[in-house]
Amino acid sequence: MTATETSTPGSPADDGAGTVTIDTARAAVIDQLQSLLLQNAGIEEFVDGVARAAAQQVGPATSVTITLRRDGYATAVSASDPGAAECDEVEYRADAGPCLESIDVGHVVRCPDIAQETRWPRWCAAALAHGYASAAAVPRALRPGTAIALNLYSTRPHAWDEAAMATAEMFADEIARSLTLALRSADQAELNADLRAALRSRALIDQAIGVIMAQNRCTADVAFGILRTASQHRNLKLRDVAVALLQGVSGAAPSEVDTFTDRRR
């Protein structure tokens, strides 16, 4: 790719002479995405805004969808047009189409004229039924086992030139960065939930050990052994045995104290 890309005159990246620098175009894309981040509170709203913005920026008569495939399972993240979203769903069910193929091969897959396309017959039939004449998919890996694809649909054959595809690649880059951060945040939230549950269980078990120590006048190690033996004999989790013991002593369900502190706050 050269330092400049030819753009359709009058397009958002055009400088009036039909030529635009890649850095200028990327700056425009990033600026628009930053505005979307400020305007939207959640990642869902942000990604929806990105799909609509990409549809406007890549070219006329363009619809955009975003697919996330994680551990082999593909799901629609966003779509600027319901018809394009329905085509994606057909592709997921058939497990064949330009979006999934682009993720598999790791590079852009183009379908310049769907009417002449012989690959992916079920997806082609759906796309033609919705009035689409061309399509393309721009993949990005987020991390091992997880990738996205920015999918383009157009009612025109041969809809996008190299400048339009360069703009689509820029949007795919920024979407990938944003979704990577969102996934990291989700992973941290899941980890925090697991840690919180573990600490609550530990607190109940410690209370039960204290009761056993008082009843049997034994050490904490001996009390834990008694609790563990009961767990094994009843085929119950240690936490469940502790809850039953505490409830039997107090006559009420034990309260679970949350001692976990989320240090991100």
Q: 162 versus 182: which is more confidently predicted?
A: 162
Q: 44 versus 51: which is more confidently predicted?
A: 51
What was the pLDDT predicted at 32? 56
Q: 198 versus 8: which is more confidently predicted?
A: 198
Q: Angle at Cα 222 formed by Cα 221 and Cα 228, nearest 5°?
A: 90
Looking at residue 65, the DSSP 8-state letter turns out to be E
> CB–CB of 175/50 below 8 Å?
yes
CA-atom Rg of the chain in angstroms: 27
For residue 187, is pLDDT > 80? no
Collapse the DSSP code of 67 into the 3-class scheme (helix H, G, I; strand E, B; otherwise coil) and give the result: strand
The predicted model gives 46-56 an average pLDDT of 79
- HEC string of 161-228 equals CHHHHHHHHHHHHHHHHHHHHHHHHHHHHHHHHHHHHHHHHHHHHHHHHHHHHHHHCCCHHHHHHHHH
Residue type, 263: R
User: Can you tell me the distance from the alpha carbon of 140 to that of 148, in angstroms, rounded to the nearest whole number?
Assistant: 5
Confidence tier at 54 by pLDDT (50, 70, 90): confident
Q: Which residues pair with 146 in a beta bridge?
A: 70, 143
- Each residue of 97-130: pLDDT tens digit? 999 999 999 999 999 999 999 999 999 999 999 9
Confidence tier at 14 by pLDDT (50, 70, 90): very low
What was the pLDDT predicted at 203? 78
* 80 alpha-carbon distance from chain centroid: 17
The predicted model gives 125-150 an average pLDDT of 94
- Each residue of 215-247: pLDDT tens digit? 899 998 888 889 888 888 888 888 888 888 888
Confidence tier at 170 by pLDDT (50, 70, 90): confident
For residue 263, is pLDDT > 60? no
Pairing of strands 109-111, 73-79: unpaired
* Nearest alpha carbon to residue 132 among 160, 106, 107, 105: 160
Confidence tier at 18 by pLDDT (50, 70, 90): very low
Burial of 110 per CB tally in 10 Å (0-12, 13-18, 19+): middle
For residue 16, is pLDDT > 50? no
What was the pLDDT predicted at 86? 92
Confidence tier at 251 by pLDDT (50, 70, 90): confident
Helix (H) or strand (E) holding 73: strand 73-79
